[in-house]
Structure 1
Amino acid sequence: MPAGVGSRAPARGIRRWLGGRAALWIAFAIVHAALAALNLYGQGLPLGDVTGVYRIWAENAAHGYLRMGIDAPWVYPILAFAPMAAALVFGDAWFGQSWLAIVALLDGIAFAVLLGRAALSRPRRIAAWWWLGFLLLLGPIALGRIDAVTVPFAMLGLLWAAGRPRVAAVLLTIGAWIKVWPAALVAAVVIASRRRGEVVAIAISLSVGILGVSLLAGAGANTIGFVAEQAGRGLQVEAPLAIGWLWAIVAGVPGIRIDYDRDILTFQVYGPGVEAAAWATTPMLVVGVAAVVAVGVRAARRGAPIGRLLAPLALAFVVVLMLGNKVGSPQFVTWLAAPVVLGLVLRPVRFLVPAVLAAAAALVTQIIYPYWYGWLLVADPAFVLLLTAKVGLLVALFAWAVRAVWQAGGDRRSTHAGGILSRAERHRTH
């Protein structure tokens, strides 16, 4: 036997096993079990919002005291109440465990669709392993907030956008009525898809239906109260625009502080110019979104196929929402998973850079929250530097995504190849 052949055979067997469905599903179970354990027993109360806030909202509604979004304005769209109410199924004592089970179940559905029913392709295998690694790097926050419920809806919507645009529109619209950010993915599909009329019609019809049911339940103006609630926020400590004030605190500039807002239940920055900056985030966000729309429409009008345009366009929309947001909560990093997974499925080599950048942003996020969050709240220089690095990673992601969208509309010769790729992946998803 030639030297080295015997040692290479087991290695090939291990690689073959790791590339199979069984290994992926075992890894899925291990990752979600580990994240659930961190949420339930880890330091820093990572599940605090779920058990300390969501549970109270759900219990108050169950006992007929107060229905958030109906009887009072709420920071979330009305469908956010659905998973909170569902987590009460085994009683309030098991609310946290039930919540984690719901998120794991939704992730499992998205994971199954990602793997597909046909022979497991290398791009889908790469995307699946990346998503599991991303969840581990992000840590307990990957499951322990309302955003975690929306990620599977977003991922399924993007994966089905080419072959099942109507189903994608339904899933993304539902996601947007749980937490607003998937509305940006609806916009990406509308721009990238040739069947944009159907997507718009379904998104509007479903939204009107949700609004109608809310009004019948007695919500009145509270149905869209989340818009005003978000507009009234100050500058949260993790917001990208807050970096300057955090460094000012590090430098010892007087009159600037971090304090807890008991109405919004977040830590915010206070000091000269903060209110103006918080107000400025809205027009900045509008300008950023408009710029992404313009670049995306240019690419679509120049014939960019959905298989080449949708993933970077969705990523650009998601990142601009993160950079222009006055909140900047750590759970927002979960949003990156859906467009990156789609990009890895369609163009794994091309999406290597954003996959690495997103994974790095996830790791930095977990270092900051929940374990050592207190250091950021006292503006420790090392943790302000970490937050600055995270914002830098997001800026790099945005620059990459906009450049990729621009390039998608810059080479008319790629249209045919992109269309073939889209059809092949569409068939594989079915």
Structure 2
Amino acid sequence: MAEDVVDAVDGRRRPARLRRALGGRGALWAAFAVVHVALVAINLSGAGNALGDVTLVYRVWAETAQHGWVRMGIDVPWVYPILAFAPMTAALAFGSEWYGATWLGLVTVLDAIAFGVLLGSGTLSRRRRAAAWWWVAFLVLLGPIALGRIDAVTVPFAVVGLLWAAGRPRVAAALLTIGAWIKVWPAALVAALVVASRRRGEVVIVAAALTAGILGVSVLAGSGGNALGFVAEQAGRGLQVESPFAVPWLWWIVGGTREATIAYDRDILTFQIEGPGADAAAALTTPVMALGAVLVLVAGLRAARRGAHLVALLPPLALAFTTVLIVANKVGSPQFVTWLAAPVILGIVLGGGRHLVPAGLALAIAVLTQVIYPYWYGWLLIANPGFVVVLTVKVVLLVLLLLWAVRAVWQAGSARTPSDESAA
């Protein structure tokens, strides 16, 4: 009988010990390391050439500048903001043959810094633990693209910037502005911070001063108008096959039409839709995106004017702005899904269970993205019905995520939520 009691007590203790082990920093850091090692290995040797943009495009740009031939964004217009060239050049640190590995190491280090900030140095709260495990799961489900594009460099800036938004708004503004000058999308987070923060004046001043400094240095380096060339370069793109707006044409192709096709654009290096109305749809994405951003801004300003607390307003507002940029986008590249990490992490840290829906939707979107890219991307390029279904479901989930975020922003302005800004 005594042995049975001991066994029962030990049986109850084992799950408790397991929970404590999995909830500790050691387990989280071990998971972080295992996932990043696996993603690095897949990028370097896995199927689908997920690192192709890095080794075949970024490296060429970096080498042409190194040899003094052409500096992208300085000597010629470029598709990216000027600071994108910094990590691309840094990846040459150990030579051209190690470019891909160096790039992946750089992204891993940046992720580790952001992960450390997320875990913090004090007592590890349940929400931060949950956010850290969510991020690890998100990376697994999204796959190699999570590290293999310039977007991966901006995610750690965005994560840390949002986590520090309440207590260190000036530092947050600086980090998010730097991220925006690497890849435009963190500008949406700057806008969310300006609306949600009670110290918005400081945020605007820091963002404006840093932007002026970056542009000033670029002009001194000889860029002229090329420093803003990414605006025109993006505006001139066609309707990319992964774009949400491309789904009707993909179903048209599935239906057997010969009027619409999927073609490779050698100037932009992407697969795009060609057919009746495709160019008009591509042109329509810009005003639709602007309208969507304005509507989100209006909802955010309403909430702020009604006294919504930063803790209640900033996570859904950041998520709404970010999702608008993905849904109303003529490009729709798989790496855009990495943008969801920062606002979702912030939502889990500040809102806990209230953000289970966007956390779950983002995980589902991530796994559907990996189903399409990089392993079976070719099936989408021939409009295989199964993969068009996968893309369609992904778009539907993105729309649902946007609707959830807009609703949460509206609710933040309808009822005050007692919170503490220092929770960030």
State the TM-score, normalized to the length of structure 1.
0.97
What is the one-letter code of the residue matched to 1:310? L
**Matches of 1:138 and 1:19, distance apart in 2:** 23
Q: Cα RMSD over matched residues? A: 0.7
User: Is 1:285 paired with 2:289?
Assistant: yes
User: Is 1:165 paired with 2:184?
Assistant: no
- Counterpart residue number, 1:20: 24
Alignment partner for residue 189 of structure 1, among 161, 186, 193?
A: 193
Q: Deviations over 1:260-286 (max 9, x none)?
A: 001001000000001111111111011
Alignment partner for residue 52 of structure 1, among 48, 51, 56?
A: 56
- Counterpart residue number, 2:8: 4
**Matches of 2:188 and 2:369, distance apart in 1:** 23
Alignment partner for residue 247 of structure 1, among 245, 251, 265?
A: 251
- Counterpart residue number, 2:378: 374
**Matches of 2:373 and 2:9, distance apart in 1:** 47
- Counterpart residue number, 1:37: 41
Runs (5+) with no aligned partner, structure 2: none
> Matches of residues 221-370 of structure 1 in structure 2 within 5 Å?
221-370=225-374
- Counterpart residue number, 1:408: 412
User: Is 1:109 paired with 2:147?
Assistant: no
What is the one-letter code of the residue matched to 2:202? E
SS at match of 1:233: coil
**Matches of 1:262 and 1:221, distance apart in 2:** 24
SS at match of 2:182: coil
Deviation at 1:8, TM superposition (A): 2.0
What is the one-letter code of the residue matched to 1:166? R
Q: Deviations over 1:140-164 (max 9, x none)?
A: 0000000000000001110000000
- Counterpart residue number, 1:150: 154
What is the one-letter code of the residue matched to 1:282? T
Runs (5+) with no aligned partner, structure 1: none
**Matches of 1:184 and 1:4, distance apart in 2:** 54
What is the one-letter code of the residue matched to 1:33? V
State the TM-score, normalized to the length of structure 2.
0.98
- Counterpart residue number, 2:85: 81
What is the one-letter code of the residue matched to 2:370? Q
Deviation at 1:4, TM superposition (A): 2.7
SS at match of 1:102: helix
Deviation at 1:253, TM superposition (A): 1.6
**Matches of 2:325 and 2:409, distance apart in 1:** 17
What is the one-letter code of the residue matched to 1:115? L
Task: State, as a whole percentage, how many aligned pairs show the same letter.
Answer: 67
**Matches of 1:298 and 1:11, distance apart in 2:** 47
**Matches of 2:258 and 2:99, distance apart in 1:** 43
- Counterpart residue number, 2:394: 390
SS at match of 1:348: helix
**Matches of 1:250 and 1:193, distance apart in 2:** 48
Alignment partner for residue 200 of structure 1, among 187, 201, 204?
A: 204
SS at match of 2:354: coil
**Matches of 1:254 and 1:33, distance apart in 2:** 44
**Matches of 1:56 and 1:7, distance apart in 2:** 59
Alignment partner for residue 95 of structure 1, among 93, 99, 102?
A: 99
**Matches of 1:216 and 1:347, distance apart in 2:** 45
- Counterpart residue number, 2:182: 178
**Matches of 2:12 and 2:186, distance apart in 1:** 46
Q: Deviations over 1:239-272 (max 9, x none)?
A: 0000000000000122100010010010000000
**Matches of 1:353 and 1:280, distance apart in 2:** 30
What is the one-letter code of the residue matched to 1:185? L
Deviation at 1:219, TM superposition (A): 0.6
SS at match of 1:370: coil
Equivalent pairs, count:
420
SS at match of 1:411: coil
**Matches of 1:264 and 1:402, distance apart in 2:** 33
**Matches of 2:194 and 2:70, distance apart in 1:** 37
**Matches of 2:374 and 2:327, distance apart in 1:** 21
SS at match of 1:96: helix
Q: Deviations over 1:201-238 (max 9, x none)?
A: 11011001000000011111110000000000000000
User: Is 1:64 paired with 2:48?
Assistant: no
- Counterpart residue number, 1:134: 138
**Matches of 2:410 and 2:183, distance apart in 1:** 28
SS at match of 2:335: helix
- Counterpart residue number, 2:123: 119
Deviation at 1:13, TM superposition (A): 1.0
Deviation at 1:172, TM superposition (A): 0.2
SS at match of 2:133: helix
